[in-house]
Protein backbone atom coordinates (compact mmCIF):
# COMPACT_ATOMS: atom_id res chain seq x y z
CA UNK A 1 0.00 0.00 0.00
CA UNK A 2 1.56 3.29 -1.11
CA UNK A 3 1.90 6.13 1.35
CA UNK A 4 0.75 9.54 0.11
CA UNK A 5 0.96 12.90 1.87
CA UNK A 6 -1.24 15.86 0.95
CA UNK A 7 -0.44 19.20 2.56
CA UNK A 8 -2.72 22.25 2.80
CA UNK A 9 -3.01 25.16 5.22
CA UNK A 10 -6.41 24.25 6.74
CA UNK A 11 -9.82 22.91 5.78
CA UNK A 12 -11.64 26.23 5.65
CA UNK A 13 -14.60 26.34 3.29
CA UNK A 14 -13.04 27.31 -0.03
CA UNK A 15 -12.37 26.19 -3.57
CA UNK A 16 -8.97 24.56 -2.97
CA UNK A 17 -10.25 22.61 0.02
CA UNK A 18 -13.37 21.55 -1.86
CA UNK A 19 -11.32 20.37 -4.83
CA UNK A 20 -9.14 18.33 -2.45
CA UNK A 21 -12.21 16.60 -0.97
CA UNK A 22 -13.44 15.82 -4.48
CA UNK A 23 -10.05 14.38 -5.42
CA UNK A 24 -9.89 12.24 -2.28
CA UNK A 25 -13.35 10.86 -3.08
CA UNK A 26 -12.08 9.20 -6.30
CA UNK A 27 -8.90 7.69 -4.84
CA UNK A 28 -9.41 3.99 -3.96
CA UNK A 29 -8.89 3.67 -0.19
CA UNK A 30 -7.89 0.01 -0.41
CA UNK A 31 -4.78 0.92 -2.44
CA UNK A 32 -3.42 3.98 -0.67
CA UNK A 33 -2.45 5.04 2.84
CA UNK A 34 -3.16 8.78 2.83
CA UNK A 35 -2.11 11.39 5.36
CA UNK A 36 -3.44 14.95 5.23
CA UNK A 37 -1.06 17.40 6.91
CA UNK A 38 -2.58 20.76 7.89
CA UNK A 39 -0.70 23.85 9.00
CA UNK A 40 -3.68 24.46 11.28
CA UNK A 41 -6.25 21.81 12.10
CA UNK A 42 -9.36 23.90 11.62
CA UNK A 43 -12.08 24.72 9.10
CA UNK A 44 -15.65 23.93 8.14
CA UNK A 45 -14.62 21.11 5.81
CA UNK A 46 -12.77 19.13 8.51
CA UNK A 47 -15.83 17.01 9.21
CA UNK A 48 -16.08 16.10 5.52
CA UNK A 49 -12.67 14.42 5.33
CA UNK A 50 -13.17 10.67 4.78
CA UNK A 51 -12.64 8.66 7.98
CA UNK A 52 -9.96 6.45 6.41
CA UNK A 53 -7.62 9.41 5.91
CA UNK A 54 -5.19 10.30 8.71
CA UNK A 55 -5.32 13.99 9.59
CA UNK A 56 -2.31 15.59 11.28
CA UNK A 57 -1.37 19.12 12.30
CA UNK A 58 2.03 20.70 11.68
CA UNK A 59 2.83 21.55 15.30
CA UNK A 60 5.95 23.45 14.23
CA UNK A 61 3.84 26.02 12.37
CA UNK A 62 2.99 27.86 15.60
CA UNK A 63 6.60 28.96 15.89
CA UNK A 64 6.93 29.89 12.21
CA UNK A 65 3.60 31.66 11.64
CA UNK A 66 4.45 34.88 13.56
CA UNK A 67 7.73 35.29 11.68
CA UNK A 68 5.98 34.95 8.32
CA UNK A 69 3.01 37.18 9.13
CA UNK A 70 4.55 39.97 11.19
CA UNK A 71 7.14 42.61 10.32
CA UNK A 72 10.86 41.73 10.61
CA UNK A 73 11.17 44.45 13.23
CA UNK A 74 8.57 42.69 15.41
CA UNK A 75 10.39 39.37 15.04
CA UNK A 76 13.64 40.99 16.20
CA UNK A 77 11.81 42.56 19.17
CA UNK A 78 10.36 39.16 20.07
CA UNK A 79 13.79 37.53 19.94
CA UNK A 80 15.13 40.29 22.17
CA UNK A 81 12.25 40.09 24.68
CA UNK A 82 12.59 36.29 24.82
CA UNK A 83 16.37 36.66 25.31
CA UNK A 84 17.07 34.68 22.16
CA UNK A 85 19.86 37.08 21.27
CA UNK A 86 21.87 34.62 19.19
CA UNK A 87 19.06 34.35 16.63
CA UNK A 88 19.02 38.06 15.83
CA UNK A 89 22.22 38.46 13.69
CA UNK A 90 21.42 35.47 11.41
CA UNK A 91 17.82 36.62 11.00
CA UNK A 92 18.79 40.19 10.09
CA UNK A 93 21.45 38.95 7.69
CA UNK A 94 19.10 36.52 5.88
CA UNK A 95 16.36 39.15 5.65
CA UNK A 96 18.53 41.82 4.06
CA UNK A 97 20.34 39.42 1.71
CA UNK A 98 17.05 37.92 0.50
CA UNK A 99 15.64 41.42 -0.01
CA UNK A 100 18.74 42.62 -1.86
CA UNK A 101 18.82 39.54 -4.12
CA UNK A 102 15.00 39.37 -4.39
CA UNK A 103 15.22 35.74 -3.32
CA UNK A 104 12.91 34.70 -0.47
CA UNK A 105 14.35 31.19 -0.52
CA UNK A 106 17.27 32.53 1.55
CA UNK A 107 14.83 34.00 4.08
CA UNK A 108 12.80 30.80 4.33
CA UNK A 109 15.95 28.71 4.75
CA UNK A 110 16.73 30.75 7.85
CA UNK A 111 13.16 30.61 9.18
CA UNK A 112 13.03 26.81 8.80
CA UNK A 113 16.54 26.18 10.14
CA UNK A 114 15.24 24.88 13.47
CA UNK A 115 12.31 22.93 12.03
CA UNK A 116 13.08 19.18 11.99
CA UNK A 117 12.44 17.01 8.95
CA UNK A 118 9.27 14.89 8.89
CA UNK A 119 10.09 11.53 10.49
CA UNK A 120 7.84 9.55 8.13
CA UNK A 121 8.85 8.77 4.56
CA UNK A 122 6.29 8.70 1.75
CA UNK A 123 5.99 7.34 -1.74
CA UNK A 124 4.42 10.63 -2.87
CA UNK A 125 4.27 14.04 -1.15
CA UNK A 126 1.93 16.70 -2.57
CA UNK A 127 2.07 20.42 -1.83
CA UNK A 128 -1.58 20.82 -2.77
CA UNK A 129 -2.22 24.51 -2.11
CA UNK A 130 0.32 26.11 -4.42
CA UNK A 131 1.69 28.59 -4.76
CA UNK A 132 2.01 28.82 -0.95
CA UNK A 133 5.56 29.51 0.20
CA UNK A 134 5.35 27.77 3.57
CA UNK A 135 3.79 24.56 2.25
CA UNK A 136 5.93 24.40 -0.88
CA UNK A 137 9.15 24.98 1.06
CA UNK A 138 8.29 22.39 3.71
CA UNK A 139 7.38 19.68 1.20
CA UNK A 140 10.45 20.47 -0.92
CA UNK A 141 12.94 20.49 1.96
CA UNK A 142 11.54 18.73 5.01
CA UNK A 143 9.64 15.76 3.57
CA UNK A 144 11.26 12.53 2.39
CA UNK A 145 9.37 11.10 -0.62
CA UNK A 146 10.15 9.17 -3.79
CA UNK A 147 8.06 11.62 -5.80
CA UNK A 148 6.98 15.17 -5.03
CA UNK A 149 4.13 17.09 -6.65
CA UNK A 150 3.43 20.81 -6.63
CA UNK A 151 -0.25 21.61 -7.26
CA UNK A 152 -0.94 25.13 -8.54
CA UNK A 153 -4.50 26.45 -8.08
CA UNK A 154 -3.97 30.11 -8.88
CA UNK A 155 -2.98 32.32 -11.78
CA UNK A 156 0.67 33.10 -10.97
CA UNK A 157 0.60 36.13 -13.27
CA UNK A 158 -1.87 37.70 -10.79
CA UNK A 159 -0.83 35.89 -7.62
CA UNK A 160 2.33 37.49 -6.26
CA UNK A 161 5.15 34.98 -6.05
CA UNK A 162 8.89 35.36 -5.60
CA UNK A 163 10.27 34.16 -8.92
CA UNK A 164 13.73 33.20 -7.70
CA UNK A 165 12.33 31.25 -4.79
CA UNK A 166 9.94 29.29 -7.00
CA UNK A 167 12.57 28.54 -9.61
CA UNK A 168 14.60 26.93 -6.82
CA UNK A 169 11.60 25.14 -5.31
CA UNK A 170 10.54 23.64 -8.63
CA UNK A 171 13.83 21.72 -8.80
CA UNK A 172 12.61 19.66 -5.84
CA UNK A 173 9.32 18.67 -7.49
CA UNK A 174 8.98 15.85 -10.01
CA UNK A 175 5.58 16.95 -11.32
CA UNK A 176 3.57 20.18 -11.35
CA UNK A 177 -0.20 20.05 -11.79
CA UNK A 178 -2.14 23.19 -12.73
CA UNK A 179 -5.91 23.59 -13.00
CA UNK A 180 -6.27 25.19 -16.45
CA UNK A 181 -4.47 25.62 -19.77
CA UNK A 182 -4.02 29.34 -19.28
CA UNK A 183 -2.68 28.78 -15.77
CA UNK A 184 -0.12 26.40 -17.28
CA UNK A 185 0.95 29.00 -19.84
CA UNK A 186 1.38 31.71 -17.20
CA UNK A 187 3.28 29.40 -14.86
CA UNK A 188 5.82 28.53 -17.56
CA UNK A 189 6.25 32.22 -18.37
CA UNK A 190 6.82 33.05 -14.70
CA UNK A 191 8.71 29.92 -13.61
CA UNK A 192 10.54 28.47 -16.65
CA UNK A 193 11.98 25.69 -14.46
CA UNK A 194 8.52 24.06 -14.44
CA UNK A 195 8.14 23.70 -18.22
CA UNK A 196 9.20 20.06 -18.57
CA UNK A 197 7.14 18.80 -15.65
CA UNK A 198 3.88 20.78 -15.78
CA UNK A 199 0.54 19.20 -16.72
CA UNK A 200 -3.08 20.37 -16.62
CA UNK A 201 -5.21 18.60 -14.01
CA UNK A 202 -8.77 19.89 -13.94
CA UNK A 203 -10.62 20.09 -10.64
CA UNK A 204 -12.79 17.04 -9.99
CA UNK A 205 -16.40 17.94 -10.75
CA UNK A 206 -19.39 15.59 -10.76
CA UNK A 207 -22.64 17.01 -12.16
CA UNK A 208 -24.53 14.04 -10.76
CA UNK A 209 -23.33 14.71 -7.20
CA UNK A 210 -23.77 18.49 -7.43
CA UNK A 211 -27.29 18.06 -8.83
CA UNK A 212 -28.16 15.71 -5.96
CA UNK A 213 -26.81 18.10 -3.31
CA UNK A 214 -28.64 21.04 -4.90
CA UNK A 215 -31.99 19.50 -3.98
CA UNK A 216 -31.49 20.07 -0.25
CA UNK A 217 -34.34 22.14 1.22
CA UNK A 218 -33.30 25.64 2.27
CA UNK A 219 -34.98 28.89 3.23
CA UNK A 220 -33.96 31.33 0.55
CA UNK A 221 -35.91 34.57 0.68
CA UNK A 222 -39.08 32.81 -0.46
CA UNK A 223 -41.16 35.99 -0.15
CA UNK A 224 -39.04 37.86 -2.71
CA UNK A 225 -40.35 37.59 -6.27
CA UNK A 226 -37.79 39.68 -8.13
CA UNK A 227 -34.59 38.47 -9.81
CA UNK A 228 -32.25 36.51 -7.55
CA UNK A 229 -28.56 36.85 -8.38
CA UNK A 230 -26.09 34.53 -6.63
CA UNK A 231 -22.31 34.65 -6.29
CA UNK A 232 -20.23 32.05 -4.41
CA UNK A 233 -16.73 32.77 -3.18
CA UNK A 234 -14.48 33.97 -0.40
CA UNK A 235 -15.18 37.57 0.63
CA UNK A 236 -11.96 39.11 -0.64
CA UNK A 237 -10.81 41.62 -3.20
CA UNK A 238 -9.71 38.95 -5.68
CA UNK A 239 -13.30 37.64 -5.82
CA UNK A 240 -14.63 41.11 -6.64
CA UNK A 241 -17.74 41.39 -4.45
CA UNK A 242 -16.96 45.10 -4.07
CA UNK A 243 -17.83 45.71 -7.72
CA UNK A 244 -20.95 43.55 -7.34
CA UNK A 245 -22.28 45.92 -4.68
CA UNK A 246 -21.84 48.90 -7.01
CA UNK A 247 -23.46 47.04 -9.91
CA UNK A 248 -26.50 46.14 -7.82
CA UNK A 249 -26.87 49.77 -6.73
CA UNK A 250 -26.99 50.78 -10.37
CA UNK A 251 -29.47 48.03 -11.22
CA UNK A 252 -31.80 49.15 -8.43
CA UNK A 253 -31.46 52.82 -9.45
CA UNK A 254 -32.52 51.87 -12.96
CA UNK A 255 -35.65 50.00 -11.97
CA UNK A 256 -34.46 46.39 -11.74
CA UNK A 257 -36.15 44.49 -8.93
CA UNK A 258 -33.14 42.34 -8.05
CA UNK A 259 -31.39 41.02 -4.97
CA UNK A 260 -27.82 39.77 -4.86
CA UNK A 261 -26.83 36.94 -2.52
CA UNK A 262 -23.20 36.14 -1.69
CA UNK A 263 -22.30 32.74 -0.26
CA UNK A 264 -18.95 32.82 1.50
CA UNK A 265 -16.93 34.36 4.31
CA UNK A 266 -13.63 36.16 4.35
CA UNK A 267 -11.32 38.93 5.50
CA UNK A 268 -13.13 41.72 3.64
CA UNK A 269 -16.57 41.13 5.17
CA UNK A 270 -16.47 44.28 7.34
CA UNK A 271 -15.37 46.42 4.41
CA UNK A 272 -18.21 45.04 2.29
CA UNK A 273 -20.75 45.66 5.04
CA UNK A 274 -19.67 49.31 5.12
CA UNK A 275 -19.99 49.49 1.31
CA UNK A 276 -23.46 47.89 1.45
CA UNK A 277 -24.51 50.50 4.02
CA UNK A 278 -23.05 53.29 1.88
CA UNK A 279 -25.12 52.24 -1.14
CA UNK A 280 -28.24 51.66 1.00
CA UNK A 281 -28.45 47.99 0.02
CA UNK A 282 -28.84 46.37 3.43
CA UNK A 283 -32.01 44.55 2.33
CA UNK A 284 -30.85 43.76 -1.19
CA UNK A 285 -27.19 42.72 -1.07
CA UNK A 286 -27.21 39.75 1.28
CA UNK A 287 -24.07 38.20 2.77
CA UNK A 288 -25.18 34.65 3.55
CA UNK A 289 -21.89 33.51 5.11
CA UNK A 290 -20.14 30.18 4.53
CA UNK A 291 -22.25 27.21 3.52
CA UNK A 292 -21.06 23.61 3.43
CA UNK A 293 -23.52 23.09 0.60
CA UNK A 294 -23.88 26.19 -1.61
CA UNK A 295 -25.60 24.31 -4.44
CA UNK A 296 -29.25 24.88 -3.40
CA UNK A 297 -28.58 28.63 -3.49
CA UNK A 298 -27.11 28.42 -6.98
CA UNK A 299 -29.96 26.15 -8.07
CA UNK A 300 -32.59 28.60 -6.83
CA UNK A 301 -30.94 31.62 -8.45
CA UNK A 302 -32.19 33.27 -11.63
CA UNK A 303 -28.68 34.34 -12.64
CA UNK A 304 -25.24 33.29 -11.42
CA UNK A 305 -22.53 35.97 -11.54
CA UNK A 306 -18.78 35.50 -11.02
CA UNK A 307 -17.06 38.81 -10.37
CA UNK A 308 -13.49 37.61 -9.77
CA UNK A 309 -10.50 39.78 -10.57
CA UNK A 310 -8.44 36.64 -11.11
CA UNK A 311 -8.72 32.85 -10.76
CA UNK A 312 -6.77 29.75 -11.67
CA UNK A 313 -9.83 27.92 -12.98
CA UNK A 314 -12.82 28.89 -10.79
CA UNK A 315 -14.57 25.89 -9.32
CA UNK A 316 -17.71 27.81 -8.44
CA UNK A 317 -18.20 28.81 -12.08
CA UNK A 318 -17.97 25.14 -13.06
CA UNK A 319 -20.55 24.27 -10.40
CA UNK A 320 -22.95 26.90 -11.74
CA UNK A 321 -22.49 25.32 -15.18
CA UNK A 322 -23.40 21.93 -13.69
CA UNK A 323 -26.67 23.42 -12.45
CA UNK A 324 -27.39 25.06 -15.84
CA UNK A 325 -27.67 28.59 -14.53
CA UNK A 326 -27.55 31.63 -16.84
CA UNK A 327 -24.08 32.98 -16.16
CA UNK A 328 -22.30 36.32 -16.35
CA UNK A 329 -18.60 36.12 -15.53
CA UNK A 330 -15.52 38.31 -15.67
CA UNK A 331 -12.75 37.24 -18.06
CA UNK A 332 -10.20 35.68 -15.68
CA UNK A 333 -8.11 32.80 -17.00
CA UNK A 334 -10.22 29.67 -17.13
CA UNK A 335 -13.43 31.53 -18.03
CA UNK A 336 -12.94 30.99 -21.78
CA UNK A 337 -12.01 27.35 -21.13
CA UNK A 338 -15.35 26.83 -19.43
CA UNK A 339 -17.72 28.98 -21.48
CA UNK A 340 -18.24 30.18 -25.04
CA UNK A 341 -19.16 33.86 -24.80
CA UNK A 342 -22.69 34.45 -26.07
CA UNK A 343 -23.45 30.74 -26.45
CA UNK A 344 -23.66 29.24 -22.94
CA UNK A 345 -22.68 32.27 -20.87
CA UNK A 346 -21.68 35.92 -21.04
CA UNK A 347 -18.03 36.89 -20.45
CA UNK A 348 -17.14 40.51 -19.73
CA UNK A 349 -14.12 42.55 -18.66
CA UNK A 350 -13.73 43.30 -14.98
CA UNK A 351 -15.66 46.51 -15.46
CA UNK A 352 -18.60 47.89 -13.52
CA UNK A 353 -20.43 49.21 -16.58
CA UNK A 354 -20.02 46.00 -18.61
CA UNK A 355 -21.24 43.83 -15.74
CA UNK A 356 -24.21 46.12 -15.21
CA UNK A 357 -25.20 46.05 -18.89
CA UNK A 358 -25.01 42.26 -19.26
CA UNK A 359 -26.82 41.49 -16.01
CA UNK A 360 -29.54 44.03 -16.82
CA UNK A 361 -29.87 42.45 -20.27
CA UNK A 362 -30.46 39.00 -18.74
CA UNK A 363 -32.88 40.34 -16.14
CA UNK A 364 -34.99 41.93 -18.86
CA UNK A 365 -34.75 39.03 -21.35
CA UNK A 366 -36.14 35.76 -19.99
CA UNK A 367 -35.83 34.14 -23.42
CA UNK A 368 -32.10 34.84 -23.43
CA UNK A 369 -31.73 33.25 -19.99
CA UNK A 370 -33.57 30.18 -21.26
CA UNK A 371 -31.36 29.99 -24.36
CA UNK A 372 -28.17 30.04 -22.27
CA UNK A 373 -29.60 27.34 -20.02
CA UNK A 374 -30.53 25.16 -23.01
CA UNK A 375 -26.99 25.38 -24.34
CA UNK A 376 -25.49 24.58 -20.94
CA UNK A 377 -27.58 21.42 -20.74
CA UNK A 378 -25.93 20.24 -23.98
CA UNK A 379 -22.46 20.47 -22.40
CA UNK A 380 -22.57 17.94 -19.59
CA UNK A 381 -19.82 18.63 -17.04
CA UNK A 382 -18.00 15.69 -15.46
CA UNK A 383 -14.27 15.55 -14.79
CA UNK A 384 -14.15 12.66 -12.32
CA UNK A 385 -11.96 10.75 -14.78
CA UNK A 386 -9.19 13.31 -14.09
CA UNK A 387 -8.44 11.36 -10.93
CA UNK A 388 -6.77 8.72 -13.10
CA UNK A 389 -3.99 11.19 -13.95
CA UNK A 390 -2.86 11.16 -10.34
CA UNK A 391 -3.39 7.43 -9.86
CA UNK A 392 -1.43 6.63 -13.01
CA UNK A 393 1.38 8.93 -11.98
CA UNK A 394 1.77 7.59 -8.46
CA UNK A 395 1.31 3.90 -9.39
Rounded Cα distance between 387 and 340, Å, is 25
Angle 115-90-143 from CA coordinates, rounded to 5°:
20
Question: Residue 159 contacts by C-beta under 8 Å, 6 or more apart in sequence?
Answer: 131, 310
Same fold, 2-60+116-201 and 208-378: yes
CATH superfamily of domain region 2-60+116-201: Glycogen Phosphorylase B; (3.40.50.2000)
pLDDT string in tens for the chain (395-residue length): 899 999 999 999 888 999 999 999 999 999 999 999 999 999 999 999 999 999 999 999 999 999 999 999 999 999 999 999 999 999 999 999 999 999 999 999 999 999 999 999 999 999 999 899 999 999 999 999 999 999 999 888 877 889 899 999 989 999 999 999 988 999 999 888 889 999 999 999 989 989 999 999 998 988 999 999 999 999 999 999 999 999 999 999 999 999 999 999 999 999 999 999 999 999 999 999 999 999 999 999 999 999 999 998 899 999 999 999 999 999 998 899 999 999 999 999 999 999 999 999 999 999 999 999 999 999 888 898 999 999 999 88
Domain ranges of the chain: 2-60+116-201, 61-112, 208-378
Which parts of 171-235 fold into alpha helices (H)?
A: 181-190, 207-213
**Residue 7 and residue 125 in contact, taking contact as beta carbons nearer than 8 Å:** yes
CATH architecture of 208-378: 3-Layer(aba) Sandwich (3.40)
**CB atoms inside a 10 Å sphere around CB 164:** 16
DSSP string, 252-316: HHTT--EEEEEEB--TTHHHHHHHHHHTT-TTTEEEEE--S--HHHHHT-SEEEE--S--SS-HH
Rounded Cα distance between 77 and 281, Å, is 45
Amino acid sequence: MKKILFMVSSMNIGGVEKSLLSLLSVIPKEKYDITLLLLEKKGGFLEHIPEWIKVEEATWFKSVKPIITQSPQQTIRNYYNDREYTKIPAFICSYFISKKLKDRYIYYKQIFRGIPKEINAYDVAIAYQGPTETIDYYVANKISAKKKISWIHFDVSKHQINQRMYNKLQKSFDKVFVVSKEAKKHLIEKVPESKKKVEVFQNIISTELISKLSKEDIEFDDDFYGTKIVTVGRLSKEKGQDIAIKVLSKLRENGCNARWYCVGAGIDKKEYEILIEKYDLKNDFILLGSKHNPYPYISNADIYVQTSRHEGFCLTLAEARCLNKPIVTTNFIGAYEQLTDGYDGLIVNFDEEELYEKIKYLIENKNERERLTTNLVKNYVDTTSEGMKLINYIS
